[in-house]
Amino acid sequence: MQTVCCICSQIGDTQPHMYVLSTRLDEVKGIGSALFAKLQRRGYTTVKDLALAVPLRYEDRSQTTDIADLAEGQLITVRGNITHARNFYKGRRSMQSATVSDKTGVVKLQWFNNPHIISSIKDGEEYFVSGTYNAKYKSLSQPTIERVFDRHGEKKENIHTGRLVPLYTTTIPLPQGTQRRILKEILNHLRIPTDLELEQMRLLEALNEIHFPTTADHVVAARERLALEELLTLIGRSRAIKKKWKELHTAPQFTIPKNHTDTIPDSIPFTLTGAQQRSIAEILGDISKNVPMNRLLIGDVGSGKTVVAGIACNLIAEQGQNSALVAPTKILATQHAQSLAKMFPHLPIALVTGGRKPLTIPTKPTLFVGTHAVINQLKHITPALIMYDEQHRFGVSQRSAALELEYMPHILTMSATPIPRSLMLTIFSHLQLSVIDEMPAGRKPTKTWLVPEKKRESSYHWLADELLTNKAQAIVVCPFIDPSEHLAFENVACATETFATMQQFMQEQHPELRLDLLHSRQKKKEQKSTIEALYAGEIDILITTPMVEVGLDLKRASVIVIESAERFGMASLHQLRGRVGRANQQGYCLLFSNAHNMTSKKRLETFSKENNGLKLAELDLTNRGSGDLFGTTQHGFSNLQFADWTNLELIGKAQKTFNKLPKHWKPLLREGVTQQADNMTLAN
Ligand code: ADP
Ligand code: MG
C-alpha cells in the first residue's frame, strides 16, 4: 500500500488527463480492474458515485502539537523529522518503528505488518504524524504519516494529516487512505462542463470542499450547494414529468353526470363532508379527460378517503372498466374490500392476495383490491384507475410496474402524511392535490394523555372500566416484539412482555377481560384467527406492534395505549391514534414513556394537545431544531441525500434559482435523486 504521495505524482505521469462525472472508475488512475470490480459490486461505478459519497465526518488534524505538550490518550498531530525507520521481527510478527522529533522532544512511532511504510520514509525529512499518544511508552501506535514537502521541496497539499481529514463509511470497499488519494486524484482532474455560476460556490468547488475542506464553514456551504443542486434536479424532474404528462392522451375517458352528487349511491350510510365532495368533483373532473390523472389525495386519518376513492371506482365500473386499489398490508386490503362492499353493494370487488399466477379476470367490470400482488397483475387487470393507499409505504419498483402497461392509467395516491403546500407547489408540481381538511360530523377528537409511570396501575383500572362499561376494545402498541438485546433499547417496551404483565394484572383484577397478542412473527394462521376474533369482538385488549398503524378499522375500539411512545415519530403516533373512536364514540390515547430528555417529553406533550395532523406537521416545521418530529422515515419522500424537506428557505431559494437557470442547464445529480420524483408518480 502506498502511504505517502498522491497517486499521480508517484506514477510520475505528466500526460494531462481529465475526468467527468460519468467517467467509469476503472479509467481513474490508481483503480485497477480488481478494485473496480469490488467497487462496482457495492454500487460505485462512476466518478460521480465516489464524488457524492460524502464523508461521514471529519477528523481535525489541522492543529499540530509540540511533542513536549503531548498528553496521554489524545489524538494529536505533530510536525517533525522522521529518522531511524526500520523493519524488524518480534517473534513471527513483522514490526516497523521510527522516531519523530521536533524542537521540543522525541516520540517513537510503531506499526505492525506495514513494511511498505518504511521504504516510503525519507530519512530526516519533515512529516506530519497523526495518531493517539501513549504516554507510558512515549509512542504513537499505527500513526498516519504524510510528508510536509513534495519531491521538489514545495509545500504539499496534504490530504491525510495537517488539516480537516475526511472519514468515509466502511461500506465503500477502500481503506480510508486509499479513498482519500483516489478522491484527490479525481478532484484534481475533474471537469464539470455545465457547472453553473450561482450565488453559491460552483459545484466543482463544493465537491472539493466536501472532501478536502478548507474550514468547517466551507463544509456547511458546500453541503448547501449540493442540497441546492439536488432540489434543482427534483424541480427539473417534476416539471419535465408535468410537461410529458400533459402530452399523454392515453387514459380512458369517462362521462361524468352534470351534478356530481348523482354519483353518490344511496347505500352510503352517511352524508359526505364538503371536503369529500370537493375531492370527488376534482377526481371526476380528471377522469373525464384522456390526459391521465396524477393526483394526490391528502386527508387526516379518519377523514374518509376510502369512500372518495370508492365513488370513482363505482362510476368507472358502471362504465365498463376495471380499477385497482393497492394497500400496504393484507389486513388493510381485506378491510378495504369489506367496507367498500358495504358502501357499494353493486360494485363487484375482488380481493387479490399473493400469488403470481395470472388472475382470472371476471367478465363484469371489477374493483381489484389487494397488496402488491395487485401490481403484479396489472397487465391482466388493465385498470383505468390505479389507487395507492398510504403512499409512503410503497417502494419505487412496485410503483413503476404500471409503466409496463400499453396505456397510462389514471393514478390516485392517498396519504395521511401532510405535505406542506409550499413543497407541493415547488417540488412536486407535477402532482395535482386534493385535500380533505374536514372531519366527518360528530367525530370527537381523541383525548390524549401522557401517563406517568406511577399511574400505570390506576390507568389499567380506568381502562378496564371503560372497556366494560362501553363494551369497547383497546389496542396496546409496543415498539418491539421481544426484549432487545441492545443496551440502548433496554427500556423499550416489547409486546410479549407487556402482554404477560397485563395478562397477569387483568386476571387478578378484571378477569372478565380477554387479552390477546398479535405480531408479525406469529404463524400467518395464528395472526389470521386473532384478527378474526378481534373483529368478532372476542378480544377486549389486543397487545401488538406498530403493524396495526394503518391496518385496523375496529368500530368498537375506543382506547389506544402506546408504550415507549418516544420511539415513534409524530406521524406514526397520529396514525396510531386514528385507530380509535372511529364510530363517533369518544376515543382515548394513553402514552407511556420513560424518556427523560426534555425534547422527547415536550414533543409528546405537544402531541397530546394537538389533534390535527396538518397542524402537527406545521409545528414540526416551526420547531426545526427540536429534533426529528416527523422522522424522515415517516415521510413518503425520504430519500434525499443532501437537502432537508423542512428547510423551506432553501426550497424557496431553489425555486427562484430554477426559474433563472439558462436553457442549457442539465441536472447534474440525475440518477441519484430522480427516484424521489418518480416515487411520487408513475411516469418516466
Ligand atoms: P381514512 O381517510 O383514514 O382512510 P376512512 O376512509 O377509513 O378514513 O374513513 C374512516 C371512517 O369514517 C370509516 O368508518 C368511514 O366509513 C367513515 N366515514 C367516512 N366518511 C364519513 C362521513 N362523511 N361521515 C361519517 N362517517 C364517515
Ligand atoms: Mg385509509
Q: How far apart are CA 495 and CA 527, in angstroms?
A: 14
Residue 374, pLDDT > 60, answer yes
Q: How far apart are CA 615 and CA 611, in angstroms?
A: 8
Q: Which helix (H) or strand (E) holds 277?
A: helix 274-287
Q: What is the pLDDT of residue 396?
A: 39
Contact 241, 676 (CB under 8 A): no
Number of residues that this document lists for the chain: 684
Q: How far is CA 478 from CA 392, 412, 467, 534, in A?
A: 21, 32, 20, 18
* Residue nearest atom 15 of ligand 1, based on CA coordinates: 304
Q: What is the pLDDT of residue 404?
A: 67
**Between 84 and 54, the higher pLDDT residue:** 84
Q: How far is CA 75 from CA 64, 89, 167, 176, in A?
A: 11, 27, 15, 17
Contact 378, 387 (CB under 8 A): no
Residue 10, phi then psi, degrees to nearest 5: -70, -40
Residue labelled with grid coordinates 370527488:
280
414 CA to middle of ligand 2, Å?
A: 8
Least confident of 8-17, 186-195, 365-374, 580-589: 8-17
Least confident of 330-344, 477-491, 599-613, 666-680: 666-680
575 CA to middle of ligand 1, Å?
A: 14
Contact 450, 591 (CB under 8 A): yes
CA 499 to chain centre: 31
439 CA to middle of ligand 1, Å?
A: 9
Q: How far is CA 224 from CA 229, 253, 630, 641, in A?
A: 9, 45, 22, 11
Residue 299 near ligand 1, beta carbon < 6 Å: yes
265 CA to middle of ligand 1, Å?
A: 15
Q: Which helix (H) or strand (E) holds 117?
A: helix 115-120
**Between 376 and 105, the higher pLDDT residue:** 105
Q: Which helix (H) or strand (E) holds 476?
A: strand 473-477
Ligand 1 atom nearest the C-alpha of 305 is: 2
627 CA to middle of ligand 1, Å?
A: 32
Shortest CA distance to 251 belongs to which of 135, 368, 408, 433? 408
667: left (phi over 0), alpha (psi -120 to 50) or beta: beta
Q: What is the pLDDT of residue 14?
A: 56
Region 63-72: what's the mean pLDDT? 92
302 CA to middle of ligand 2, Å?
A: 7
Which residues have a Cβ under 8 Å from the Cβ of 397 and sit 6 or more positions away? none
DSSP at 442: T
CA angle 194, 198, 202 (to 5 degrees): 60
CA 418 to chain centre: 16
Residue 390, pLDDT > 90, answer no
Ligand having the closest approach to the CA of 443: 1
CA 365 to chain centre: 37
Q: How far is CA 281 from CA 151, 229, 269, 344, 418, in A?
A: 75, 38, 20, 18, 21
Contact 380, 359 (CB under 8 A): yes
Region 239-247: what's the mean pLDDT? 82
Q: How far apart are CA 422 and CA 409, in angstroms?
A: 27
Q: What is the pLDDT of residue 299?
A: 87
Q: What is the pLDDT of residue 621?
A: 56
Average pLDDT along the chain: 85
Ligand having the closest approach to the CA of 280: 1
Q: What is the pLDDT of residue 505?
A: 96
Region 78-102: what's the mean pLDDT? 94
Which residues have a Cβ under 8 Å from the Cβ of 289 and sit 6 or more positions away? 251, 253
Q: What is the pLDDT of residue 622?
A: 53
Region 6-29: what's the mean pLDDT? 74
> Which of 139-148, 505-514, 567-576 holds the top average pLDDT?
505-514
Residue 303 near ligand 1, beta carbon < 6 Å: yes
Contact 276, 435 (CB under 8 A): no
Q: What is the pLDDT of residue 472?
A: 96
Q: Where are the beta strands (DSSP E) in 532-593?
A: 541-544, 557-562, 588-591
Residue 304 near ligand 1, beta carbon < 6 Å: yes
Region 613-635: what's the mean pLDDT? 48
pLDDT tens track for 18-43: 999 999 999 999 999 999 999 999 88
Residue 302 near ligand 1, beta carbon < 6 Å: yes
Residue 330, pLDDT > 90, answer no
Model confidence at 617, pLDDT cuts 50, 70, 90, reads: low
335 CA to middle of ligand 2, Å?
A: 10
**Between 61 and 350, the higher pLDDT residue:** 350
Q: How far apart are CA 529 and CA 128, in angstroms?
A: 68
Q: How far apart are CA 18 and CA 33, in angstroms?
A: 19
Q: What is the pLDDT of residue 620?
A: 59
550 CA to middle of ligand 2, Å?
A: 7
Ligand 1 atom nearest the C-alpha of 555 is: 14
Model confidence at 646, pLDDT cuts 50, 70, 90, reads: low
Residue 584, pLDDT > 60, answer yes
Q: What is the pLDDT of residue 192?
A: 87
Model confidence at 383, pLDDT cuts 50, 70, 90, reads: very high
**Between 426 and 452, the higher pLDDT residue:** 452
pLDDT tens track for 452-480: 999 999 999 999 999 999 999 999 999 99
Residue 542, pLDDT > 70, answer yes
**Between 422 and 332, the higher pLDDT residue:** 332
In sign, the C-alpha dihedral spanning 501, 505, 508, 512 is: negative
Q: How far apart are CA 36 and CA 23, in angstroms?
A: 13
Q: How far apart are CA 366 and CA 316, in angstroms?
A: 9
Q: How far apart are CA 277 and CA 283, in angstroms?
A: 10
Q: How far apart are CA 374 and CA 337, in angstroms?
A: 13
Residue labelled with grid coordinates 411520487:
680
304 CA to middle of ligand 1, Å?
A: 3
Model confidence at 569, pLDDT cuts 50, 70, 90, reads: confident
Region 564-572: what's the mean pLDDT? 82
Residue 328 near ligand 1, beta carbon < 6 Å: no
Q: How far apart are CA 262 and CA 609, in angstroms?
A: 40
Ligand having the closest approach to the CA of 340: 1
DSSP at 556: T
* Residue nearest atom 9 of ligand 1, based on CA coordinates: 304
Region 171-178: what's the mean pLDDT? 86
Q: What is the pLDDT of residue 362?
A: 86
* Residue nearest atom 4 of ligand 1, based on CA coordinates: 305
Contact 565, 604 (CB under 8 A): yes
Residue 515, pLDDT > 90, answer yes
Ligand 1 atom nearest the C-alpha of 436 is: 2
Q: What is the pLDDT of residue 550?
A: 56
Model confidence at 497, pLDDT cuts 50, 70, 90, reads: very high
Shortest CA distance to 420 belongs to which of 220, 583, 620? 620
pTM over 0.75, yes/no: no
Q: What is the pLDDT of residue 549?
A: 61
Model confidence at 576, pLDDT cuts 50, 70, 90, reads: confident
Ligand 1 atom nearest the C-alpha of 307 is: 6
Instruction: Give the three-class secondary structure for 550.
Output: coil
Residue 580 near ligand 1, beta carbon < 6 Å: no
Least confident of 251-265, 399-413, 479-493: 399-413
Residue 306 near ligand 1, beta carbon < 6 Å: yes
Q: How far apart are CA 616 and CA 605, in angstroms?
A: 12
- According to DSSP, the β-strands at 410-415 and 385-389 are parallel
Model confidence at 273, pLDDT cuts 50, 70, 90, reads: very high
Residue type at position 435: V
Q: How far is CA 391 from CA 288, 325, 634, 639, in A?
A: 24, 11, 11, 14
Q: What is the pLDDT of residue 484?
A: 80
Residue type at position 260: H
Model confidence at 511, pLDDT cuts 50, 70, 90, reads: very high
> Which of 74-88, 378-392, 566-580, 621-635 holds the top average pLDDT?
74-88
Region 550-574: what's the mean pLDDT? 85
Share of the chain above pLDDT 90, in %: 48
Residue 272 near ligand 1, beta carbon < 6 Å: yes
Ligand having the closest approach to the CA of 304: 1
Residue 677, pLDDT > 50, answer no
Q: How far is CA 73 from CA 70, 77, 131, 133, 137, in A?
A: 9, 13, 9, 5, 12
Q: For the chain, give percent helix, strand, coil, nearest 5.
A: 40, 20, 40
Q: How far apart are CA 340 and CA 334, in angstroms?
A: 10
Least confident of 367-376, 427-436, 507-516, 629-638: 629-638
Region 487-499: what's the mean pLDDT? 87
551 CA to middle of ligand 2, Å?
A: 9
* Residue nearest atom 17 of ligand 1, based on CA coordinates: 304
Q: Which among 261, 264, 267, 270 is the best mutation to test ligand 1's pocket, defined by most ligand atoms within 8 Å of the CB?
A: 270
- According to DSSP, the β-strands at 473-477 and 144-147 are unpaired
Least confident of 250-254, 450-454, 628-632: 628-632
Q: Which residues pair with 434 in a beta bridge?
A: 297
Model confidence at 680, pLDDT cuts 50, 70, 90, reads: very low
Residue 339, pLDDT > 60, answer yes
Model confidence at 259, pLDDT cuts 50, 70, 90, reads: confident
Q: What is the pLDDT of residue 501?
A: 96
**Between 621 and 660, the higher pLDDT residue:** 660
